[in-house]
Amino acid sequence: VGPPGGGRVVPRHLARVSVFDSAVQGGDAAWEGLRIYNGKIFMFERHLDRLFSSARMLDFKNVHSRDEIHRAVFSTLAANGMRDNTHIRLTMSRGEKTTSSMNPNFNVFGCTLIVLAEHKPVVSVATYDNSKGVGLVTASQRRNPPSCLDSKIHHNNLLNNIIPKIQANNAGCADALMLDIEGFVSETNATNVFCVVGGAVLTPTADACLPGVTRALVIQLCEENGIPCEVRRISLTEFVAADEVFTTGTMGELTPVVLIDGRPIGNGVPGPMCARLSQLFKTLIDREGYYTPIPEF
């Protein structure tokens, strides 16, 4: 935790930022989720590309260098002895302010970097049941359009996601399916979403959703393996009537969706396309160029 050149590793119960930090003052931060598999950080550089892109779009100043982030992540993993079944939430805020304000002119200390590493295997995360599948409920809130707050900025101002998540919790569902302001499916409150119709894989455009790293890999896998794949606007009706639906994300990989608004998807059980793509996805973990090895410690 700390500004450029001033970070330190601290025990979990002592990890903290200033009450004047921009993340506290206004959710003024960007973040990435990283998955650790058997001594490798999967898609580390692509996640950093997106973090730096978010920082540029938010006009952050005095940003940590890529090398500083590498060292911070490796040091945190080494301090915890973590090399597998680990998830990292990597956060970069605009930094500490000189006074309470939303004005970035009061940020003079540089950005704050937080490396939060936890032992968290995919199968242990309750929201993602990749064997039995999960249920979704359609959220009443709409996903932010770029005209309001562009979801391509992977920011920490997450109330647009948290309120639908509360609705999902109250409905006894894993997550909430979010529509854009025109009524087309965007994503869930936490993941990208795909449907399968007649052997073809479909996913919404990224007009009002985060173009996720795992989403891009699934599209790539379809192209590599001759699976028809289309990126277009998709209605809620099409999702409910689909043969299969599944979500994608760094935390849960590919998760089958078996219910939407209490209605079964397909046969109401995980389908063969999700299973096939899940197996193909696992081959990427060890593919050269898709991971960053963790130094020995």
Contacts of 274-281 spanning 24+ positions with Cβ under 8 A: 274/196, 274/244, 274/246, 277/201, 277/218, 277/221, 277/222, 277/227, 277/246, 278/130, 278/253, 278/254, 280/221, 280/225, 281/214, 281/217, 281/218, 281/221, 281/253, 281/254
Cβ-contact 199, 206 below 8 angstroms: no
How does pLDDT run across 115-171, given as a tens digit for each residue? 999 998 776 666 688 999 999 999 999 999 999 999 999 999 999 999 999 999 999
Structural tokens at position 75 = 């040091």
pLDDT bracket for residue 8 (50, 70, 90) = confident
How does pLDDT run across 69-122, given as a tens digit for each residue? 999 999 999 999 999 999 999 999 999 999 999 999 999 999 999 999 999 877
Is pLDDT at 1 greater than 80 in this prediction?
A: no
Structural tokens at position 288 = 């050269």
Q: What is the pLDDT of residue 132?
A: 93
219 in the Ramachandran plot: left (φ > 0), alpha (ψ -120 to 50) or beta? alpha
Structural tokens at position 88 = 């990292």
Which residues are paired to 230 by β-bridges?
202
Structural tokens at position 190 = 């936490």
The phi and psi torsions of 178 (rounded to 5 degrees) equal -110, 135
Which residues are paired to 211 by β-bridges?
none
How does pLDDT run across 243-281, given as a tens digit for each residue? 999 999 998 999 999 999 999 999 999 999 999 999 999
